[in-house]
């Protein structure tokens, strides 16, 4: 009887723990990997995303471009405030997407900076327009970013960058309308 009590107790405890575990929100490790793998210096930003291309229909791997763009914009602003005027050197951008199409991808990005002498030749905001195996909606992105521009300024947009596996990206930089207000 004593053994039956303990066996029942353990079975009930394990069942309740399994129920609690199944009700807990799933941990999305792909977002943490993407955020933790981006590093920026005075020379540029680089990072790697390793994980699923899609999770529940969401394009997780391509969202890495969003995260890198955010970090690049933050770094350009920081350099500007330190009077190390810079912009992304589009001619030296490197992208690779090994494993794309297999369900698991290693997406690597390198966005180098180059120094400029004049503060109004620097760029302090950054974004992208891209997609996997389809042309990016660059016209829509241009329209959306138009309101972020300084009066009389325009977007600086890279040539279309592609990987052999089908990632296509336009990289976009511009003068931040608040930080670079003196450049009107």
- DSSP state string for 97-152: EETTTTTEEEEEEEEEEEE-SSGGG---EEEEEEEESS---HHHHHHHHGGGSPTT
| pLDDT, mean of residues 62-73 | 94
Nearest to 138 by CA among 111, 167, 170, 161: 170
Q: 35 pLDDT exceeds 60? A: no
The end-to-end CA distance of the chain, in Å, is: 86
For the residues 35-46, what does the mean pLDDT come to? 88
Cβ atoms 169, 126 nearer than 8 A: no
Each residue's pLDDT tens digit, 84-121: 999 999 999 999 999 988 889 999 999 999 999 999 99
Residue 6: pLDDT over 70: no
Q: What is the rounded distance in angstroms from the CA atom of residue 174 to the CA atom of residue 142?
A: 11
For residue 111, list its beta bridge partners.
Answer: 45
The yes-or-no verdict on residue 55 having pLDDT over 90 is no
């Amino acid at each position: 009887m004593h053994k039956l009590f303990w066996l029942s107790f353990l079975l009930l405890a394990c069942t309740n723990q399994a129920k609690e575990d199944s009700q807990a929100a799933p941990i999305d490790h792909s977002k943490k990997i993407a955020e933790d793998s981006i590093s920026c210096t005075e020379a540029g930003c680089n990072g790697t995303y390793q994980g699923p291309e899609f999770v529940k229909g969401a394009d997780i791997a391509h969202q890495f471009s969003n995260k890198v763009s955010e970090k690049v914009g933050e770094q350009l602003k920081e350099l500007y405030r330190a009077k190390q005027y810079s912009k992304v050197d589009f001619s030296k951008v490197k992208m690779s997407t090994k494993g794309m199409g297999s369900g698991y991808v290693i997406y690597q990005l390198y966005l180098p900076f180059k120094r400029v002498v004049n503060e109004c030749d620097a760029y302090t905001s950054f974004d992208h327009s891209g997609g996997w195996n389809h042309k990016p909606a660059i016209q829509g992105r241009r329209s959306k970013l138009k309101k972020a521009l300084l009066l009389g300024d325009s977007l600086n947009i890279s040539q279309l960058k592609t990987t052999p596996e089908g990632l296509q990206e336009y990289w976009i930089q511009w003068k931040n309308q608040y930080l670079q207000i003196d450049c009107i």
